[in-house]
Every structure is written in C-alpha cells, then in structure tokens.
Amino acid sequence: MKLVIVESPTKAKTISQFLGKDSATAGEFVIESSYGHVRDLPKSQLGVDVENNFQPKYIVPLKARKNVSALKKKAAKAEKIILATDEDREGEAIAWHLLSALGLEDRPEDNILRIVFHEITKKAIEKALKNPRDIDMHMVNAQQARRILDRLVGYKLSPFLWQKVARGLSAGRVQSVAVRLIVEREAEIDAFKKEEYWTIEGIFSAKGGSASSGKKDDNSFKGELYKIGEKVLEKFDIKNETEAKKILDKLEGKNAEVISVEKSAEERHVPPPFTTSTLQQAAFQRLRMSAKETMRNAQRLYEEGYITYMRTDSLNLSQESLSEAAGWIKENLGGKYLLPKPRIFKTKSKSAQEAHEAIRPTDPSRRPEDLKKSTDPREARLYELIWRRFISSQLPSAVLENTKADIDIDGHTFRANGTRLVFDGFLKIYQMKFSENILPELREKEGLKTESIAPIQHFTEPPPRFNEASLVKALEKNGIGRPSTYAPTIATIQDRGYVEKDEQRRLRPTETGKIVNAMLVENFPEIVDISFTAKMEEGLDEIAEGRREWPPVIREFYEPFSKHLETKYESVDSQKIEEKTDESCPNCGKPIVIKRGRFGRFMACSGFPECKTTKKLPEPALNIKCPKCLEGDVVRRRGKKNGRYFFGCSRWPACDFVSWTLPGREKKE
C-alpha cells in the first residue's frame, strides 16, 4: 500500500478519483489529509531559541494530535509515503514537518517521495508520480524564516503595545506596513484642499440636424475648449466663473467650422491571465468578493480540480493549455478569433518561479454554466471570471477607431473625440469598461451649428481611500508580502480593529490604528518602513533560491531590533486610546467615549472610575432602512461560524432580514 498525504480532505477526495478507492488503482493507493499544518511554534511561549542560531521549537498542536497519531499508524503499514502537499513554500514546509511528526526521518529515502503538481487532474498526478523529487529545503527554510521573523516581531512588539497603548493589540512585519499605507492615505485626504477650475463645453451639429430634434438620426456631439489661439489650455487656466464667462462673451454669435479631422486605429491590449494579486483585485471589482473570500473560493476550485494552483505570481501557461484554448476558440468563435501563434506573457515578478503557471481552468472546454449546476454560486462566479480571463488571453486585441475633430470659433479651438469599436477581439469573452462615442462624418471647412456653449465648474478631488483591490495592488507594487500573504494581512488588520470599512467598502483607519501607527513610525521606523520590509521579502526570496542561509537574515534584523526595543520600554510614555462620541452618560452626564479593552472596543463613561457605565459598541450606520420591516436600519454583522460579514436588521430578532449584499447596491449582471 502506498500512502499519499495532502493538506485538505477536499483535495484528498478529488485525488481519490484518480488514485484511491474510487479509481482503477483501488487498493494500491490510500489518500489521507494532514488537515493543514501538523507542527507549529507554541502559542504559549516565544518558541525560538535566539541564543542558539534562532532554532525553532516546534510542537504538534493539540488539535492536530489525533490526526497525526492516525497518520503514524497508516504510515507504519505503508511501503511508500508520498507527500503531495502544495507546491509553494507553505506546502513544502508541511511536507517537511510531516517527516518529523510521523517519525519518518529514518526510513530509506526511496520509501518517501515528494511530488508536486499545478493542477489536480489525472494526467498531472500521473506525471508527478513519474517525476518525484526530494523536499526542497531552500523553500522550507524560507518559510521557516518568515514564520520565525513574524513570531519575533509579534511576540516581542505586541507586549510593548499592550503596556504603552492597550491590551489586545498586535504588530507585524506586513500588517503594520499595510496599516501605515491606509493611515497615510487618510492623512492625505484630511489635508486635501480642493481647487476650483472650469471647462467650456460646446454642443455642435451639422447644419441639417439639431440636438433637440428628438430624431434617431440626431448628429449632435460634444467638444471641449482646449486651445485659445496657439495656447493649449492647462487644467487651471480657467480658474473661476468670471473668467469662463469672459470667454463665452467672445464666442457669442460667432460661426463654428471644422478645421481638422484625424482618424487613427488603436489596439486595446489583452489583459494577461490571473496571478493571485490580479485575481483578488478583479474579484473585488467585478464580484464584490473580499480577498479572503476570493482565496477561500479559489482554494475550493483548485482542490476540486477545476483550476490550477491559486497562489502564484507567474504568468506562464503550459503548452498543453494553450493548445486546448486554441482548439476551443476555433470551434466556438471561428477562425477570425484564432491567433497565428499562442500569446506568451512575460512574468514581471522577480520571485516568480518559472515552473509555476498563472491561474487558469484545468479544462478550458468546461464552461462556467457547467459548474453552476453543481457548485456553490460564488465559486461558480469566480470560476467564470478565471475562465473568461484565460480564454481571452489567447484572443486577438480589440481594434478601435479613434476620431479627433477640431472645431474653430473665432480663434478658439474645441476638440471632439470619438471612438468606434471596429473588432471586438478579446472583448467578446472578457468585457471591460468601454463605451462607444461615434462622431458624425465631418469634413474640413464644414460649417457647424452651435447648439450651446456652457461653462462647467469642477473641483479637484482628494485621493480615494484604499479598497481591498487597490491595497493588494499597492502591496504588490511595493514588494510587501507575497501571493500567500495579501488576503490574511487584509483580514488581520480589520480583525485587530486597526482598519474598518466605510459604507462604500473602502478601508479607513480607526483611532486605534492611527495611534498604533504613529507609535510604530516614531519608535520602530524599520517595522513600518516600506523599503525595509520589501528588502526583507527579497531576503526570504534569496533563501528560497538557495543564495542565502536563513539564520543570518534573521540575525541582521533581530539584533538591532531587540536592543532598540529595550530602550523604548524606558523612554516611551503610555497613551490612552479614547475616541470621542456625541453621546452623554445617562447616569452622570459626562461624555461617552470609545475605549479599547481586552475584548476589543466598547463605549464607556469618561468619568471612570467614579462612573462605571459601559455599553456595547453599536454597528456602524449605513443609512439604509431595512427593506423587510421598513423600521430598522441595515447594519453589518459578522457570522460566528465562518467569520463572513453579512447585512441584517438593527431590530433583530424582531426582524430576521439578512443579505450577503448591501440592499440597493447589489452588483448588476
């Protein structure tokens, strides 16, 4: 009997179709799950011997002991052990930990096989079994180094925050940088001062037509003043309404004439197949999925055999998948959508492993509607997004015809821009924001009728708050974290109460987040320094590639950090976190404030300890009435079992309204 061990029961169940009791090889292979990590650092202590080259002290967690014991018994009876955990650093580390936890170190090397595959298909697994390899200790050490670094920062710095700010706070290499990005963006927004500027817009038509005719062949179009004489207007050249009206006075009663018409072709380029970060961004923008939900659904799709491995920063596609895509395109879309040769995308990430692939369907002929019958609807929608992105990556570019027409009125040049879709190309499968604006056929020196000329007031806008998609993009751009860390980082900073979502699902810092960030920036600048954190990630990549040993990478960070922390315990004053509210205490009349305690934020009287009034913090108001009872307000709540946010009525349990989407803001299909 050959024992195959993977991380999850779902993955084990899928592989069983090809190797286990449900397959032609029934009896030869037994597929079991480790249920995730089988060893970890203890929660009750640091678990790292800093005096002994930072050696970790791993234990088998209590929740894993029963399963580890069962796996040990099965391993003892197996002629071969096949470790088929995921192909990334985390999966490599789990395979290595299994060796120790199951007591397999002394078994002959040819009794223990490490296999990897990018997709859970019969062909991929059979190929992996024919090409086993050793456990990659460089990847294991990179994962160990990350885990130890994160433990050292969290275990050493969090008590400092408890003493100086409030219990229950935490700091981390990646999460603290993410909070800093959000806090600094909020500061930019607060400091922003809007500036006024004006544009002048004309509506023109050929002299035979009218903008108000109401006929279907109405040929009116818009143009914007962009040049006066030979001076091209800059954004703030027309500063106020007075200046705008002076220009309008000069144009009154003057004739309009077309002075130039230029047409040009433009290719709208095909987006590449998904990486982890671009999938999270697109799923948020198109499906309103959080990064955490996206990865949870993608994990299931992978383990069920529908998509390739979902933690990747590679844009590579296998030759087989490219051939399958071309076959599907030829059969279903026709020859004009078939590329003369496959389109290859160049991976930008330095850390991407070339053997890995982008996220794609394992079988391009499996249409999204095939999944909708048997799969969770959210998983099916994510699969459709992945399928469309992959197929479209092998379609031609879309071709647009752009028209630029300049209209003169007494030395004032208005410009009209038009766009027409000539060939849809990849847009046939993967829709993107695009709207045609077709200008009528215009000729040079053609006289036009001026329907209206109007000044339009504008104000500059502050930078937007981050949402989950734009934060993932910023983290990736700055080299903060890796594909496996984006989703848990975003979840952690919300769970810790450093960041919350506004009514438009954008991320804003809480008062706690601002205070903790200010303390870290002032006293531990390296922890929240973007370039320093990015450099640490590069160090981990070098370990994974075998170019550096892991203890020196940790030592370079830890020794100065540890000494610095000791001095800060003495020199930094404590800070209280109290957020003001507009409420007064019902018992003593003093202001009610929001405090942070051991179990999170709560409302309390500012007269404490004389007045001990406290109450639960209400859910944030969304200013939407409950669509069911029409009396309560819609509030956001969090499920106890899965931690997923949903919307309910403030009158619960009197009203049992619940919804996964914010009423009135459901995504339109």
User: Catalytic residue positions?
Assistant: 309
Quick one: which of 315, 344, 339 has its CA closest to 329? 339
> How many CB atoms are located within 10 Å of the residue 92 CB?
25
For residue 653, is the peptide bond before it cis, meaning its omega torsion is within 30 degrees of 0? Answer: yes
Q: And the tokens for 561?
A: 């950090």
Query: Rounded to the nearest 5°, which phi and psi values hold at 58?
Result: -80, 150
Residue 526 CA to residue 563 CA, distance in Å, equals 13
Specify the DSSP class assigned to residue 13.
Answer: H
User: For the purposes of burial, counting CB atoms within 10 Å of the CB of 227, is it exposed (0-12), middle (13-18) or buried (19 or more)?
Assistant: middle
Per-position b or e across 111-140, b if 16+ CB within 10 A of its CB = ebbbbbbbbbbeebbeebbeebeebbebbb
Quick one: which of 118, 117, 139 has its CA closest to 4? 117
DSSP string over 69-106: HHHHHHHHH-SEEEE---SSHHHHHHHHHHHHHTT-TT
> How many CB atoms are located within 10 Å of the residue 291 CB?
24
Strand partners, 638: 645
Residue 554 CA to residue 564 CA, distance in Å, equals 16
Cβ neighbours for 155, distance < 8 A, ≥ 6 positions apart: 46
Query: Rounded to the nearest 5°, which phi and psi values hold at 296?
Result: -65, -45
Cβ neighbours for 634, distance < 8 A, ≥ 6 positions apart: 622, 624, 625, 626, 627, 647, 648, 649, 650, 657, 662, 663
Residue 408 CA to residue 229 CA, distance in Å, equals 10
Residue 158 CA to residue 82 CA, distance in Å, equals 40
- What is the spatial order of strands in the sheet that 614-615 belongs to? 579-584, 591-597, 600-605, 614-615
Query: Rounded to the nearest 5°, which phi and psi values hold at 571?
Result: -95, -15
**Residue whose token pair is 């939407």:** 624
